[in-house]
Homo-oligomer: A and B are copies of this chain.
Amino acid sequence: MENKSVVLAFSGGLDTSFCVKYLAEEKGYTVHAVLVNTGGFDAEEIKSIEEKAKALGVASYKTLDETADYYSKVVKYLVFGNVLKNGAYPLSVSAERVSQAVAIAKYAKALGVNAIAHGSTGAGNDQVRFDMIFQTFMPNVEIITPIRDLKLSRQEEIDFLKDKGIEWDFSKAEYSINKGLWGTSVGGKETLTSNGQLPEAAWPTQVTKTNAEELTLHFEQGELKGINDQVFEQPYEAIQALEKLAAPFGIGRDIHVGDTIIGIKGRVGFEAAAAILTIKGHQALEKHVLSKWQIYWKDQVSSFYGNWLHEGQYLDPVMRDMEAMLDSTQQYVTGKVFITLLPYRFQINGIESEHDLMSAKFGHYGEMNNTWTGEDVRGFAKIFGNQNAIYHQLNDTL
């Protein structure tokens, strides 16, 4: 058996545990396990995953902490673009996968391995995201997907591992949970069909706060830099603090219904208090400081950006072009947003910004002012409606 080495995206679950043994013992690979933390794992979880990897006999194990990078390369633009897929979903998982795949590809490239492996099945979005990013980073390296290719049942995987001496508890949880910086997805049972709400107990964060709380979010050029009186060096730290503060209200829970990359529709629950509050607060501020057409165009572009990111096309250069546009829009998105948090909901009360175009200096809506006259508006309406007037008179339609 020749000298073959593989980097394996490892999570400690049944599928990737199977992959370790399968790649190492059946296929003769030197297996380098890697876990990418994009803000969803705490120290304890990471330690446990590392121990599992080692118990399975990997040649090496590495945790890559990509939280800061994930924020600055991806999440930041989801905020700038107020991206909520289908009006609801902050792309919690989709965005994370792309960031993880990039980190793994770079790691694999640095190690100089012959192959790169992931535990995706043949039925989800992740396989496409991983495949595409890996093949782009390393066009000459083989991509191995044992779970997709072998189509084994859970029991077959468990039996295989048992044969190899691994007899851990691989019982399947009722719901599949995926935690990250930008939200936690919850799939299973009710979400597998088109109708049905997740029960209270299924949500990872239980509702423990029942009294209203006032919240002030501070944005600087579109980025969350402060919560109430606390200033954060890094926006991702602010996001994490906001999640801690707001999740116990049950805010940001919803079920996303959407198109998978592979053409079928799917539903998945999510809780994403920080993501939802950040986006809605950011959007409220933008309504005051951006021009009408900035708002319009940000929406048009962000809608595509979110979909394309969801489909794993992060490496399309058009994404960089859109990010340049989004960056430009944020110049004056600086100010405070005032929010009241309540059980299961929140309300945005207003904003304060020195870039607020609703500034009283330029006249109040509905009240006369000094900068224009009724006569100006009469002229405006005359010209603004000129073409329609011509059109309807000419064609005698009215």
A357–B391 touching, CB < 8 Å: yes
In angstroms, Cα B232 to Cα A276, docked, is 36
Residues of A within 8 A of B (CB): 82, 86-87, 105, 109, 121-124, 127-128, 131-133, 135-137, 139, 145, 148-149, 151, 187, 192-197, 254-255, 257-267, 283-284, 287-288, 290-301, 303-304, 307-308, 311-313, 315-318, 320-329, 331-332, 338, 340, 342, 344-345, 347-353, 355-369, 371-395, 398
Number of copies: 4
29 CB < 8 A contacts A-B: A105-B398, A123-B367, A123-B368, A124-B366, A131-B378, A135-B382, A136-B392, A136-B393, A187-B366, A197-B347, A197-B350, A259-B295, A262-B372, A262-B386, A263-B386, A264-B363, A264-B364, A265-B357, A265-B365, A315-B391, A316-B387, A321-B329, A323-B328, A355-B395, A357-B390, A362-B394, A373-B379, A376-B379, A379-B379
A296–B291 touching, CB < 8 Å: no
A382–B123 touching, CB < 8 Å: no
Residue of B nearest to A322 (CB): B325
In angstroms, Cα B283 to Cα A86, docked, is 9
In angstroms, Cα B359 to Cα A266, docked, is 10
In angstroms, Cα B369 to Cα A266, docked, is 14
B317–A294 touching, CB < 8 Å: yes
What are the nearest 9 A-B pairs in CB distance?
A379-B379, A122-B374, A195-B350, A263-B386, A266-B365, A132-B385, A131-B381, A376-B379, A324-B328
A363–B288 touching, CB < 8 Å: no
Q: What B residues does A348 contact at CB under 8 A? A: 255
